[in-house]
Amino acid sequence: MSPRPALAIAFAACLAACSSTPDDDAMAPQDAFFHHVAGLCGQAFAGRIAVDRPPTQGDPLAGKALIMHVRECSRDTIRIPFYVGSDRSRTWVLTRTASGLRLKHDHRLQDGTEGALSQYGGDTVDVGTSERQEFPADAASKALFQREDRASSVSNVWAMEIEPHERFVYELTRPGREVRIEFDLEHPIPAPPPPWSVAPKK
């Protein structure tokens, strides 16, 4: 083979490698998971309740439009407002830590001030996978639940799942309770208004 075709082949291979995105095999599971979620930044998606066991009376999610908006992304933090009908109080905050990932729930009142039950969540306790990460309630969250008369929540384990280009899942489990909300990643929707955490104060 002459040098010219060989150089052309090498150049094409370099272009393919340099333009490719990192794959799951080349990244630690938590890094790959964070990368997949960050890849949704700026987009919003409609969701549905896939599991609600057992059904509860007065469930604030039932019969409401459910929307997630991957609104703010940085190197270490992703903020995902979760809308329930006209309620814009909830934001999931996914953060890198020195040992893994952390999920917190930021709850705001309509004037933007923080609610009494806010900043609860937990850290990963194992590496998980590129598609699923679990977050058992941490000590601060357990103390908050006890203080706010939510003792049943001290056993909460939250999870997030992502199948790129297909679905995103938010999950809550504890003994006797399981909730899964699935969001359709194949069909982005228009971005909703800002969450109450950033809405203009009245």
DSSP per-residue string spanning 146-169: HHTT-GGGGG-EEEEEEETTTEEE
- Between CA 46 and CA 163 the distance in angstroms is 15
Across the range 57-67, mean pLDDT stands at: 89
The answer, yes or no, to whether residue 63 has pLDDT greater than 60, is: yes
pTM greater than the 0.75 cutoff: yes
Q: What tens digit of pLDDT does each residue of 79-105 get? A: 999 999 999 999 999 999 999 999 999
How many contiguous H segments (helices) and E segments (strands) does the chain have? Answer: 3, 11
**Greatest mean pLDDT range, 3-7, 14-18, 52-56:** 52-56
**pLDDT above 70: percentage of residues in the chain:** 86
What are the backbone dihedrals phi and psi of residue 170, each rounded to the nearest 5 degrees, phi first?
A: -115, 130
Question: Cis omega (within 30 of 0) on the bond before 190?
Answer: no
Query: Which carries the bigger pLDDT value, residue 128 or residue 10?
Result: 128
Q: Is the dihedral of CA 172, 49, 73, 126 positive or negative?
A: positive
Pick from 172, 124, 174, 130: which is nearest to 151 by CA?
174
